[in-house]
Amino acid sequence: MKAEALFNGLEYEILCGNTDIDVHQIYNDSRKVEAGGLFFCICGANSDGHSYIRNVIEKGAVCVVVEKDVEPVKDVLIIKVSSTRTAMGIVSSNFYGNPSDKLTVIGITGTKGKTTTTYMIREMLMSAGHKTGLVGTIEILDGVRCISANNTTPESIIIHKTLKDMVDNGLDSVVMEVSSQGLMLDRIAGVKFDYGIFSNLSKDHIGPNEHSSFEEYAMWKSRLFTLCKTGIFNGDDANVDTMTEHATCSIIKYGMNGDYEYKAGGHELYQKDGHMGITYELSGLQQGRISVNLPGNFSIYNSLAAIAVADQMGVPFDRIKNILTDIKVKGRVELIPISDQFTIMIDYAHNAMSLSSILMTLREYNPKRLVCLFGCGGNRSKDRRYEMGEVSGNMADLTIITSDNPRNEEPQAIIDDIKIGISKTDGKYIEIIDRKEAIRYAIMNAEKGDVIILAGKGHEDYQDICGVKYHMDERDLIREVLEEEDVEKICGYNNRYFA
């Protein structure tokens, strides 16, 4: 492809060279550059791509995109832009044939609920015949492959290649989680969004390597609504006005406490055979009784966002309702149905805020005991350990402290930090370092009416120990425990999951 065509829609200055050259591939990793390639000099947290210009030219790069003044190089095209990250998105889109133009693109941003909502939307669209891809925290689904995700929102060079693959695989739509980091680092540059969704906003991702303040965090979140055609907003969230203040899209709202296009009322909790969910009456542009196979008020908001998108895209209402009745999302209050008399669930809650939210939600179902099993990651803030210990001690009837991803720390040292937090409460706890043994204890000592939440790992299927990721999936651990134990001793054992 001619370099000049790659730069369509981009403001740039030519430092040297000629745009009438052929570019065979584009790169942001100097180690992968081959002859005929274009290299983006990205200024990252740990390295500066401008330091590798000589190296990539020696490998045969014919074009380099920079954001700093550099020395000209004979027979090499060097262009300067204000931001190489922005340029990478625009050039990537051009290189891969502007694939977002050929898809209905749905982006979801917010602090909580993004993953669950993406799966709800995808299932609804698929039920109506839309061939729908997914880019999210758990995985990328391109219509042929299922690829484990490294970032909630990948780099733009990966996103546009993924969108091209989706087009080539016959997909017509994609639903994508859009993180604040993804927005701040221009990972979605060049993507044309049809719909943007705002779920909620609370203090998170604020620190030295993320956002400097809550205000900055909110500002980056709101940027999605300058990039989409239609914005769908949680009208009940305290920060909704911040999200809509500079929006250039048309606006649709959902929630429970206002005159919205999609409004829920009269909600009721339900619990049956170990399942926990919620029902409500939908009014506005669609009317009817909705049943969601996930617990808590946040499931109302997630489902309302999904309903709004699906309805706007013409999905029949009966199909929308049917999807919500049976919806399951890996690692998000995921029920593992091994008993009719107690409930065991897996959830990704890995900080104090998310743990408090899930425990508060489960407490509303009036369990006999609320049992919380969790650990904390190594090489991370100790404050998170103290806070999670205190939350569980205050909100759970029994806490089982175990190991998560210890990384380069001793698991016992992490547990000792968690105990500092739980010691501020009157909560009962035990400590069992080995996660499988901790899960065994929870299952074998379950009582009728208990709700057990395995928190922190969620969709993850590994344990990070000293830089090595060992396979560890909590679903496998539960299955192994059941195979090794006398299941007749398990309260209300009725294995519908592993049968």
pLDDT in tens, 126-140: 999 999 999 998 999
Tokens (6 digits) for 189: 């540059």
Taking the model in full, what pTM does it have?
Answer: 0.92
**What mean pLDDT do residues 115-133 have?**
97
Are the C-beta atoms of residues 29 and 44 closer than 8 Å to each other?
no
Q: Which residue has the tokens 């909600």?
A: 267
pLDDT in tens, 65-111: 999 999 999 999 999 999 999 999 999 999 999 999 999 999 999 98
Element (H, E) at 99: none
The pLDDT confidence band at residue 206, using thresholds 50, 70 and 90, is: low
Are the C-beta atoms of residues 56 and 64 closer than 8 Å to each other?
yes
Domains of the chain: 3-95 (3.40.1390.10), 99-325 (3.40.1190.10), 334-489 (3.90.190.20)
**What mean pLDDT do residues 143-167 have?**
93
Q: Are strands 262-272 and 104-109 parallel, antiparallel or unpaired?
A: unpaired
The pLDDT confidence band at residue 387, using thresholds 50, 70 and 90, is: very high
The pLDDT of residue 211 is above 60 = no
φ, ψ (nearest 5 deg) of residue 244: -95, -10
Strand partners, 106: 175, 195
> Minimal CA–CA distance to 32: which of 64, 63, 55?
55
> Minimal CA–CA distance to 70: which of 86, 56, 59?
56
Give dist(CA 4, CA 22) in Å, integer. Answer: 9
Are the C-beta atoms of residues 148 and 154 closer than 8 Å to each other?
no
Are the C-beta atoms of residues 128 and 316 closer than 8 Å to each other?
yes
pLDDT in tens, 405-456: 999 999 999 999 999 999 999 999 999 999 999 999 999 999 999 999 999 9
The pLDDT of residue 273 is above 80 = no
The pLDDT of residue 204 is above 70 = no
Tokens (6 digits) for 406: 């210890």
Give dist(CA 65, CA 84) in Å, integer. Answer: 7
What pLDDT score does 106 carry?
A: 98
pLDDT in tens, 251-265: 999 999 999 999 999
Say how far residue 388 (Cα) sits from the centre of its chain: 21
**Out of 129-138, 214-223, 337-346, which region has the weakest mean confidence (pLDDT)?**
214-223
Contacts of 384 (CB under 8 A, 6+ apart): 351, 352, 376
The pLDDT confidence band at residue 220, using thresholds 50, 70 and 90, is: confident
The pLDDT of residue 295 is above 90 = yes
